Amino acid sequence: MSTDFIVFILSVISIGSIAIGFSVYARERTNPANMFFAIFAISAGLWGGFGIIKYYAYVNWDYVPDTLYFTKFATAIIATAFFSLCLFSSSFPQGRLLLSKKMLIGKFILYMAVIVAIFIPGAVIVSDSFIEEGGVVAFQSAIEWGPFYWYLFAPFLFTCFLVGMGQLIKNYREAKDAFQKSQILYVSLGLGLSAGPGLILWFFLPQEYFWVARFSVFIFIALTAYAVLRHKFFTFRTAAAEFFTLVIGIFLFAQTVASFGDWREFAISGGLLVFVGFFGSLLITSVKHEVEHRRKLEEMTKRLTLANEHLEELDAIKSQFLSFASHQVKTPMTIIKGYVSLLQDDVETLSDEEIKDMSGKIRMATDRTISLVNNLLDLRRIEEGQMEYHMDAMDIVPLIRETFEDLRIVAENKKLSFTRELPDEAVSAQVDVIKIRQVFLNLIENALKYTNEGWVDVRLEKESDRTVLFTVRDSGLGMSDDAKKSIFKEIYRDSVVVKAIKGTGFGLYIAKHVVDAHGGEIWAESEGEGKGSAFFVRLPLDHAESVEKKDVVEN
């Protein structure tokens, strides 16, 4: 094999390694695996690069460089390459350094020792280096190694290789998916088949075959780069376009440099180089464009799918709401229809007392229907985020008194003791009068509904200068601890419609929403089932400085 050809190929490989290193790093800068790989590939590239520069300087300009210094530098770079190789293997592909701290520190100390040993004066690792006059190793200087070459340098490289290999096997075993496994397989293959044998060849072949090691290392770099970049299919396409353009460019560049002196060939190669550069960059741009386009398309499809799912969910909620709402309305309608038909059929035989009682029940069921419809509409508004509040400063005492009086007939019908205790002075708060009235009404109505005998007591008291507390207590059904927690949650969203429809507490869900919007609190207490309940609403008092009317629109 002609020396020129080997040098040419090595130039390509060196520049290629550096390019791949940068390219992998640029893909994912924050990933340590990418960074370590880049250091490795660039080091490997520089290693070759130094040899080539030295060769050109010697052959073309008869310059005999300070070979010893060159060699020391190249040796340090090899040590760096293997150290980063070891770090890369332990952080690929998950992107976290998995090496134990002890091992990491040990390796680092060893690395520093190698570097120091290379550069300190004296023949510790590199004893001498010279270029043999007309020797067979045309571009490579002959090197004489010092004693630490075998005692420190070689063990360092081999342990880096072995630790890296071991870590890869461990990562392979722990890899979660088949894809990561295949990535690790590529890297291990590259490391095992090329870097390993390359290392052995380097140490045990005669010096004139040094270049073989560089070839084998390049195989590893190429395979690893493929494995690293492959996990993003689209970006790999861009990387491939860049890579091939670069390789062709490098070949042409090398050819151009080599033909320096032969102007005709120089012009052709140079022209081709410009041509490839121009169209190559066009190709890369268009591939990047397409990749970006597809990525956007994919993203859009994902977003559309999500939006569609959301719509389907809303649709399901809507139809559940509809069946919930219609069922809710059916109950009071059944009662109204029942009593009206009894009155129609039996009017002659019914006593005045019975007729009065039935009319009272019809009135109650009618009220219940009305408040039900109002609640359903509010529920809908809350769902759609369109509940609007019109806040005004007002005295809430008369409001509660009126609500209480409206419900007196219900208490009388059920023969319950129905009492209230309200302050004599005005209690002013910023409220949406219609909505807050609905809250008071719901709470008192519920107490009356779930109390079959005994009493219901309503009170309002100032707690401090800042808050007022509204309380409804009853001797009714009471509730469990679980119920206390869940009663303020909306109920019709349950997956089982049958179960959901049964819920009647959605007035409390609305109440919570309304009280929250007023900057207040709502909660329930009960000693347990059968032991009565108490419901509390705490509202902030209105202060003179904040009397100005404010409208709150919810979103």
Residues near another protein, by CB under 8 A: 327, 330-335, 337-339, 341-342, 345-346, 349, 361, 364-365, 449, 452, 498, 501-502
Is 318 or 337 the residue whose CB approaches another protein more closely? 337
Phi, psi of 156 (to 5 degrees): -60, -50
Is 65 or 338 the residue whose CB approaches another protein more closely? 338
Is 520 or 532 the residue whose CB approaches another protein more closely? 532
Is 349 or 464 the residue whose CB approaches another protein more closely? 349
Is 448 or 537 the residue whose CB approaches another protein more closely? 448
Residue of 444, 388, 429, 441 whose CA lies nearest to 520: 429
CB of 456 to another protein, least distance (A): 15
Residue pair 503/486 in contact by the 8 Å Cβ criterion = no
CB of 349 to another protein, least distance (A): 7
Cα 14 from Cα 8, distance rounded (Å): 10
Cα 397 from Cα 460, distance rounded (Å): 8
For 19, 36, 296, 401, the CA distances from 27, given in Å and listed in that order, are 12, 13, 18, 72
Is 338 or 519 the residue whose CB approaches another protein more closely? 338
CB atoms within 10 A of CB 91: 22
Q: To which H or E segment does residue 539 belong?
A: strand 533-540
Length of the chain: 555
Among positive and negative, which fits the CA dihedral 19, 24, 29, 31? negative
CB of 498 to another protein, least distance (A): 6
Residue pair 283/243 in contact by the 8 Å Cβ criterion = no
CB of 365 to another protein, least distance (A): 7
Residue of 405, 368, 380 whose CA lies nearest to 504: 368
Helices 210-230 and 233-258 cross at an angle (nearest 10°) of 150
CB of 342 to another protein, least distance (A): 6
CB of 402 to another protein, least distance (A): 24
Among positive and negative, which fits the CA dihedral 314, 318, 324, 328? positive
Is 303 or 337 the residue whose CB approaches another protein more closely? 337
CB of 537 to another protein, least distance (A): 25
Strand partners for 471: 459, 536
